[in-house]
Structure 1
Amino acid sequence: MPATMPTTMPTTRPTTRPTRTTGTVLALGGGGFSMSDDGSSAIDDHLLDLTGKDTPKVCFVPTASGDDNGYAHRFEEAFAGRARTSVLSLFCHEPWGYADPELLLEQDVVYVGGGSTANLLVVWRRHGLPDLLARAAAQGTVLAGISAGMNCWFESSSTDSFGPLAPLDDGLGFVPGSACPHYLGEEDRRDAYLGWVASGALPGGYAVDEYAALRFVDGVPVDAVSERPDRPVLRVERDGDGVREVPLDVRRLPGT
């Protein structure tokens, strides 16, 4: 582990942050339709299965990418025929236009895309999404997301929202602790995250590699899955002046 940590970027903490929420969160370190050449993904299939419905309602929230139209179209293509899809565009991009965020309360799944975690959090708070999402989760909606869409649910995270990797103590706090997606898939992610947990810049938390996901129920981890071999999910904890990684059992999804 390097002795010199990446520079900590300044952050603005929210004036209020919801307490740990009840309900289900599926945190994707990478994978899903976002990282599939043809849109197919065993993790996305698993996400739909968690709803227990044949054709669940799934709303994609691409705020972190600035509501990138191409990203939203890829979502609709990936879920066509197996879900009733919608896109919540807070930037009012065509063809989506503006939808009342209370649309989230009608969903079986809210799927959050990747991009800038910091920007996502600012925009969501301005539009009142944290409280809506907490209400949706409490009534059975599965909250899911990849990369920034993973980070947002935690108290804090490792992010590249400011360019260089930096710790961000600004999450929603639906899941306790910190998050690190792309754990082995992106250069410096692991070393930086271990350093921040060791120094106390971030609390202990969970590292999820690409093509893997970790499911929480009421803030407690219950199941780790992967759609490719050798994709770890770990609990990362401060240990004296150092840090330790505790591998979790990862279940390989059928057909992968």
Structure 2
Amino acid sequence: MTGAIRGTIVALGGGGFSMSETGESAVDDWLLDLAGRRAAAAHPHRPAPPRVCFVPTASGDSRDYSERFESAFAGRAQTHVLSLFGQSPWAYADPSMLLSMDLVYVGGGSTVNLLALWRRHGVDRTMREAAAQGTVLAGISAGANCWFEGSSTDSFGPLAPLHDGLGFVPGSACPHFHSEEGRAESFRDWMRTGALPSPGLAIDDGAAAVIEDGTVTSVIAEAAGAHASLITGETETTLPTTSLT
């Protein structure tokens, strides 16, 4: 099933604990606060920290990546890892576990591999259901790309347009917009020529786009000068950004 979903998605172009030497991140703090407020509203008699699940599929369930997540969120959330590879020390987890989470945080890596495995295991359907019932979906890089119809990816080596995203958000995404060589130029060209579906959402490292029911409603940033832009054809519009620092 494709089409914009009901619910909240936060797409990080780069940043968060993934790109922090200390594991500290203002965007991650913001996500935890959002998840905590939604959890409190939905379960007013459950005075527990928010339940957060990290999904490391795009990195092949990297153990180091998952341990960095647990370290960054320790003491602030009930942490879980959805492993599709059964990577020790996490056994294979049924994707239905996502339905009990307040926040699902998808890591970076290969967008193509993520999409293939998610569809095979039914993670895509579960993600849609979780979002509809109030779970916040978030992700960085490949974990941002996956929600859109199309994206800019290096999953095949050189940067290339990818057309078979989940389609939870209309249009296309480009993470690391100004920080990785060739990202901005190629994405602008694909928007101009129609090689990827419009609108294009270009997101810098240190910035995150907040998307409600398929529409970008705000942009937050933890790095000076980081922002996100909407690109349609030849038109590029920088979106208003709220600094978290």
Same fold (TM over 0.5): yes
Deviation for aligned residue 1:135? 0.4
Deviation for aligned residue 1:19? 2.1
Is 2:239 aligned against 1:235?
no
| Structure-to-structure mapping, 1:177-256, within 5 angstroms | 177-204=171-198, 205-238=200-233, 243-253=234-244, 256=245
Secondary structure, aligned partner of 1:120? helix
Secondary structure, aligned partner of 1:202? coil
Q: Which residue of 1 aligns with 2:101?
A: 107
Is 2:23 aligned against 1:45?
no
Q: C-alpha offsets along residues 182-240 of structure 1, whole Å, 9 cap, x if unaligned? A: 000101100000011111101222000000000001001111000011012100111xx
Aligned equivalents of 1:181 and 1:191: distance in 2?
13
Q: C-alpha offsets along residues 115-172 of structure 1, whole Å, 9 cap, x if unaligned? A: 0000000000000011110000000000000000000000100000000000000100
Aligned equivalents of 2:75 and 2:218: distance in 1?
27
Q: 8 Å contact 1:18–1:130 — kept in the other structure?
A: no
Gaps in structure 1 of 5+ consecutive residues:
1-16
Secondary structure, aligned partner of 2:171? strand
Q: Which residue of 2 aligns with 1:96?
A: 90
| Structure-to-structure mapping, 1:1-256, within 5 angstroms | 17-51=1-35, 52=37, 53=40, 55-204=49-198, 205-238=200-233, 243-253=234-244, 256=245
Paired amino acid for 2:237: V
Paired amino acid for 1:86: H
Paired amino acid for 1:213: A
Q: C-alpha offsets along residues 81-108 of structure 1, whole Å, 9 cap, x if unaligned? A: 0000000010111100111110000000
Paired amino acid for 1:222: T
TM-score, normalisation: structure 2: 0.94
Q: Which has the higher helix share?
A: 2
Aligned equivalents of 2:93 and 2:192: distance in 1?
43
Paired amino acid for 1:75: F
Aligned equivalents of 2:106 and 2:142: distance in 1?
8
Secondary structure, aligned partner of 1:47? helix
Q: Could you say what the CA RMSD is over the residues aligned between the two structures, in angstroms?
A: 0.8
Secondary structure, aligned partner of 1:27? strand
Q: Which residue of 1 aligns with 2:45?
A: none
* Number of aligned residues: 234
Aligned equivalents of 1:203 and 1:246: distance in 2?
16
Aligned equivalents of 1:222 and 1:49: distance in 2?
18
Aligned equivalents of 1:86 and 1:55: distance in 2?
13
Deviation for aligned residue 1:39? 0.3
Q: 8 Å contact 1:18–1:131 — kept in the other structure?
A: no
Secondary structure, aligned partner of 2:125? helix
TM-score, normalisation: structure 1: 0.90
Aligned equivalents of 2:4 and 2:220: distance in 1?
23
Q: 8 Å contact 1:185–1:209 — kept in the other structure?
A: yes
Secondary structure, aligned partner of 1:132? helix
Runs of 4+ in 1 over 2 A off after TM superposition: none
